[in-house]
């Protein structure tokens, strides 16, 4: 039997909510297209933001296409986007940090329980009760949360960040995921002058990692499968660039790294990088390919190497990262696109053909 799906309009919104424009995937195999969603009416501690730019993370693509079905199955329609910058249009009566007209940013988290040990330590990314910006149960409206491929969003002020006023907004948007996801492990593992640091995969995350490692004074080596990115890697701050398909070039670095950040979005041989670590060296995965990676026990045993992962970052560290970027006048290198080009952008992401982040100009959704 055919069912009718009622699309809410601005006039016909649920009580306590209003309609907003968005772009959504309706299934794992359909292209993204225009869609109407509900946003809640700002509550006491809420900030309503007109979205100006939203970065395009490879996680958006993984989830739009349900590639993480075993861990985080996608609920459709899915509105991706967790690299959000915009301008505050309205605030609830209890909001202290923002007023209408301010710049504001939202990353991968829009809520958490605020009471657990992790939340109290400002490490909300480890809260077992957090709410992700999209494809996560929405405590206010039911259904799932909808991300930044939209003209507006309403978020509790604890999860809203300040954007340094000297930063280009299109380039600042990707800091909210690509920036914090690389900054956090780089700080955690003590990247600094005198350390040798590798970055694997020069995409959205990878190019931010190169900028941070270089800014912190580390000797920075980029591993790429794309020879065409070599010059850019040097410009972004690499001291050396290795084409990872070349075994001889790889071998020259055996046993020499203090830390390697792996930001590859697809299946690859991680053992080739574990072998490049020096004694007690660590390799951290931020890339999240859908299939498990095979790890050689000997690669870890010899040299007492360690393999870790790292998810995004907490709110205080995200603000610290934004302020660090403000001080260094540093943002992501972006190609600005209208929302109507999102499907083309996804195809280019799959081909590693992005320099180095797509940032959607949300004026195109009006
Ligand atoms: N841990 C977290 O919290 C977190 C947060 C955000 C994103 N992620 C994940 O991190 C990954 C990277 O995201 P992104 O947005 O930076 O993606 P991206 O812009 O597509 O960059 C990924 C890069 O990986 C390299 N690559 C792609 N396919 C490869 C293959 N088959 N073998 C070797 N290298 C390959 C390419 O770099 P080269 O051309 O230089 O080889 C590519 O540019 C994704 O899986 C994403 O979901 C995780
Ligand atoms: Zn992301
Ligand atoms: Zn918590």
pLDDT in tens, 200-215: 999 999 999 999 999 9
In a mutational test of the pocket of ligand 1, which residue from 58, 350, 353 has the highest number of ligand atoms less than 8 Å from its CB?
58
Pair 20, 150: CB distance under 8 Å: yes
Q: Give per-residue burial for 39-74: e unless 16+ CB within 10 Å, then b.
A: bbbbeebbbbbebbbbbbbbbbbbbbbbbbeeebeb
The whole-model pTM stands at 0.96
Q: Report whether residue 126 contacts ligand 1, using a CB cutoff of 6 Å.
A: no
Per-residue pLDDT of the chain (366 residues; tens, 9 = 90+): 333 344 344 334 457 999 999 999 999 999 999 999 999 999 999 999 999 999 999 999 999 999 999 999 999 999 999 999 999 999 999 999 999 999 999 999 999 999 999 999 999 999 999 999 999 999 999 999 999 999 999 999 999 999 999 999 999 999 999 999 999 999 999 999 999 999 999 999 999 999 999 999 999 999 999 999 999 999 999 999 999 999 999 999 999 999 999 999 999 999 999 999 999 999 999 999 989 999 999 999 999 999 999 999 999 999 999 999 999 999 999 999 999 999 999 999 999 999 999 999 999 999
Helix (H, G, I), strand (E, B) or coil at 359: strand
Give the SS3 label for residue 15.
Answer: coil
DSSP assignment string, 111-146? E--S-SHHHHTT-GGG-TT-EESSSSB-TTTSSB--
Q: Is 266 a pocket residue for ligand 1 (Cβ < 6 Å)?
A: yes
- What is the C-alpha separation between 211 and 186, in angstroms, rounded? 11
* Chain length of the chain: 366
Residue 338, SS3? Answer: strand
Probe ligand 1: pick from 263, 269, 308, max atoms within 8 Å of CB?
263
For residue 6, give the DSSP letter: P
The residues placing their C-beta within 5 Å of ligand 2, an ion, are 57, 59, 177
**Contact yes or no for 306/278 (Cβ under 8 A):** no
Ligand 1 atom with least separation from CA of 349: 20
Helices (H), 193-314: 204-215, 230-236, 247-251, 271-274, 297-301
CA of 204 to the centre of ligand 1 (A): 7
Tell me, using a 6 A CB cutoff, whether residue 211 lines ligand 1: no
Residue nearest to atom 15 of ligand 1 (CA): 58
What are the C-alpha distances in Å from 64 to residues 77, 273, 313? 9, 30, 22
Question: Would you say the CB of residue 288 lies under 6 angstroms from ligand 1?
Answer: yes
- Residue having the nearest C-alpha atom to atom 9 of ligand 1: 287
Structure token digits, residue 349: 């992401």
Rounded Cα distance, 149 and 154, in Å: 13
Whether cis (ω within 30° of 0) applies to the bond prior to 69 is: no
126 alpha carbon – ligand 3 mean position (Å):
7
Ligand 1 site, residue 233, Cβ cutoff 6 A: no
**CB 58 near ligand 1, within 6 Å:** yes
Give me the torsion for CA of 336, 341, 345, 348, rounded to 10°. -110
What region, left, alpha or beta, does residue 76 occupy, with left being phi > 0 and alpha being psi -120 to 50 degrees? beta
- What confidence score (pLDDT) does residue 344 get? 98
Q: What pLDDT does 7 receive?
A: 39
Ligand 1 pocket: which of 201, 333, 351 to mutate (most atoms within 8 A of CB): 201
- In three-state secondary structure terms, 356 is coil
Q: What is the pLDDT of residue 14?
A: 57
Query: Is the bond leading into 77 cis (omega within 30 degrees of zero)?
Result: yes
Closest ligand 1 atom to Cα of 357: 19
Is 263 close to ligand 1, i.e. is its CB under 6 Å away?
Answer: yes
Kindly state if the Cβ of 59 falls inside 6 Å of ligand 1. Answer: yes
- For tokens 């954007």, name the residue: 163
Residue in 58, 31, 166, 177 with CA at minimum distance from that of residue 103: 166
């Amino acid at each position: 039997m055919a069912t009718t799906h009622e699309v809410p309009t601005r006039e016909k919104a649920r009580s306590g909510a209003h309609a907003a424009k968005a772009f959504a995937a309706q299934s794992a195999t359909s292209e993204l297209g225009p869609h109407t969603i509900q946003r809640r009416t700002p509550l006491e501690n809420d900030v309503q933001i007109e979205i100006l730019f939203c970065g395009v993370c490879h996680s958006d693509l993984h989830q739009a296409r349900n590639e993480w079905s075993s861990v985080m199955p996608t609920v459709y329609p899915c509105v991706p986007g967790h690299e959000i910058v915009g301008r505050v249009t309205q605030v609830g009566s209890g909001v202290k940090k923002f007023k209408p007209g301010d710049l504001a940013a939202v990353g991968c988290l829009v809520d958490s329980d605020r009471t657990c040990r992790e939340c109290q330590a400002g490490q909300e990314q480890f809260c077992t009760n957090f709410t992700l910006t999209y494809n996560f149960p929405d405590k206010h409206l039911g259904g799932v949360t909808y991300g930044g491929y939209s003209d507006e969003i309403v978020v509790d002020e604890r999860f809203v960040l300040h954007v340094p006023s000297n930063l280009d907004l299109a380039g600042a948007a990707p800091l909210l995921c690509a920036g914090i996801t690389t900054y956090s492990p780089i700080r955690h593992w003590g990247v600094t002058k005198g350390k040798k640091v590798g970055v694997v995969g020069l995409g959205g995350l990878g190019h931010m990692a190169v900028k941070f490692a270089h800014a912190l004074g580390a000797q920075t080596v980029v591993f790429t499968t794309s020879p065409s990115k070599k010059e850019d890697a040097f410009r972004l701050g690499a001291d050396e660039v290795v084409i990872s398909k070349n075994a001889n070039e790889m071998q020259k670095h055996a046993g020499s790294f203090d830390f390697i950040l792996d930001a590859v979005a697809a299946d690859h041989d991680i053992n080739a990088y574990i072998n490049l670590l020096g004694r007690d060296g660590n390799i951290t995965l931020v890339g999240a390919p859908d299939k498990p990676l095979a790890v050689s026990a000997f690669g870890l045993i010899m040299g007492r190497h360690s393999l870790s992962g790292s998810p995004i970052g907490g709110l205080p560290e995200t603000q610290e990262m934004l302020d660090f970027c403000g001080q260094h006048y540093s943002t992501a290198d972006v190609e600005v696109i209208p929302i109507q080009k999102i499907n083309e952008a996804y195809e280019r992401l799959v081909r590693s053909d992005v320099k180095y982040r797509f940032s959607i100009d949300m004026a195109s959704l009006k």
